[in-house]
Amino acid sequence: SGNANAVGRGISLVGNDIAGGANAGQREAIYANAVVVNQAGGVIRGQSDAAIYAGGLNGSGRTVSIQNDAGATLQGGAGSAAVVVANDYATTIINRGSIDGSASGKAIQLGSGQGSITIAGGQAQVLGSMDGGSGGASSLRIDPGAGQSFAYASALSNFAVVQVDSG
């Protein structure tokens, strides 16, 4: 028993299970905007799936904001990206810590909504690919800060804008 749809995930941002009708077995969208803040020392881990998953049907108009502070970790399992937005939510991700998608090779997978990813500060680390999703309006900003650097060795895809600030 229990919720078989969420097994292996760190945090699931979804509505209720749909029990009947054409969408039976799927999830509703979140009912309000969502904010997740992972503070220094925090670890959000997906055992076999995403550390953070945002999904559900018909999410237009909702926002998902994820802040991963310096010294914090978002770690995905082998079956998924560390952060997955499988909907049209407007999504903002600010990473100053570690987003570890090394188990799957995927760190961030955005959906069809407008997304904004900022990699900030000298401690930021992203292991795995970053995909801006199918919405065509996502942006990526890398801002290591004065005297700092950011190294990245994976793929970037589906970003309308990539901005790299000096460090």
Q: What is the mean pLDDT of residues 53-71?
A: 91
Question: Is pLDDT above 80 for 60?
Answer: no
129: pLDDT confidence band, cut at 50, 70 and 90? Answer: very high
75: pLDDT confidence band, cut at 50, 70 and 90? Answer: very high
Closest CA to 154 of 95, 90, 81: 81
Question: Is pLDDT above 90 for 58?
Answer: no
Q: How far does Cα 120 stand from its chain's mean position?
A: 15
Q: What is the mean pLDDT of residues 126-135?
A: 96
Taking the C-alpha atoms of residue 55 and residue 28, their distance in angstroms, rounded to an integer, is 8
Q: What is the mean pLDDT of residues 119-135?
A: 96
